[in-house]
Amino acid sequence: MDGETTPKYWLLKAEPDSRVVKGKDVKFSVDDFETVGTSPWEGVRNFEARNLMKEMQPKEKAQKHCSITRIARIQVYDRLAGASDEGLTFCTQGIAAFAEVAKAAYPDHTAWDSEHPYFDAKSKQEDPKWFMVDLAFVSRTKHFVPLALLRYIADSSADSPPEELDYLGEAGVAAIKNMDLVTRGRLSIQRVSPDAWDAIEQLADNGGWDELDLSPKKKTTAKKAPAERTISAHPRAAKQKPKPRKKKAKGSDSEDDFDEDDEWSEEEVISKTTSSRRKRKAEDYQELPATRRRTKA
């Protein structure tokens, strides 16, 4: 529509269980939220979450019963309960209520309070590092939407929803599979796409998953079969010692004097060597000119 800003949707997480830090209980359940009505969302100490919070805008006009503002819709995540710039709340973790942004981001003064659980000595009043928004409670969801259900849908290999949730359609399944809540999880403030917002609304309004087994499935990893040992054509198990190479007898000029397959005693080696050398000397002597032959005395 001309002149209108595209609605933004958000999910904010809260801590529903008692946890005392510096003597202060940091619990903030959906019951607490409903009781106070409007509350500052202090204590965010993650830069990405802080930057998302700074994008949030105060309410303009209610769009429909679970849409809180046209600009910003919020889902408040609590463990029985989540928040949106139109809004949802998540103790089996999940979405339990809708909220709206009542006030845009402003400096989080708890960061300067040394007694506060979320004190940050590096944050200065003249140069604030952390911010918060005010959220206004709107209503609880008709059906609590458990995180286990969203993971069940996201982990399914099917593009279509289970029969019990047929109203979601393939678009709703695809949107849930891409939610930061199931792909990233731990970030305390998250964007929610319009399609995912619509899917959450449908789940909150219609329910129908009571018969589904939402218990997490154990991922089984196939064990690697042990590598087969290849048997060599020439197994080395019975390792044969290489036949020692026979050394030339001292004084021998050639290796041709011996057959390597024969065994020779030391006396035979000396005898054969000596005989061979004598033979060669005799042959050499016969080839000398008569004038150079020595006369035997």
pLDDT in tens, 189-243: 888 898 999 999 999 999 999 999 988 777 666 566 666 665 555 555 555 666 6
Q: Summarize the confidence of residues 4-32 as an average pLDDT.
A: 81
Of the pLDDT bands very low, low, confident and very high (cuts 50, 70, 90), residue 159 is very high
pLDDT recorded at residue 264 = 52
| Ramachandran area for residue 195 (φ above 0: left; ψ -120 to 50: alpha; else beta) | alpha
Domains and CATH numbers, the chain: 8-206 (3.10.590.10), 245-297 (no CATH)
The residues, ordered by sequence, that sit 6+ positions from 290 with a Cβ below 8 Å of its Cβ are: none
Q: Summarize the confidence of residues 78-106 as an average pLDDT.
A: 67
pLDDT, tens only, 93-121? 888 888 889 999 999 999 999 999 999 99
Tell me the three state secondary structure of residue 24: strand
pLDDT recorded at residue 120 = 94
Residues 269/250, Cβ–Cβ less than 8 Å: no
pLDDT recorded at residue 71 = 30
* pTM, to two decimals: 0.63
pLDDT, tens only, 250-294? 444 444 444 444 555 555 555 655 666 666 666 665 666 666 655
What is the residue-averaged pLDDT of the chain?
75
Nearest to 95 by CA among 38, 169, 211, 179: 179
What distance in Å separates the CA atoms of residue 230 and residue 217, rounded to the nearest whole number?
38
pLDDT recorded at residue 17 = 77
pLDDT recorded at residue 57 = 87
What distance in Å separates the CA atoms of residue 193 and residue 281, rounded to the nearest whole number?
106
| Ramachandran area for residue 252 (φ above 0: left; ψ -120 to 50: alpha; else beta) | beta
pLDDT surpasses 80 at 9: yes
Q: Summarize the confidence of residues 123-135 as an average pLDDT.
A: 93
Distance of CA 183 to the CA centre of its chain: 10
Structure tokens at 10: 């958000």
Nearest to 179 by CA among 105, 65, 94, 98: 94
Handedness of CA 36, 39, 41, 42 (dihedral sign): negative
Q: Summarize the confidence of residues 153-167 as an average pLDDT.
A: 95
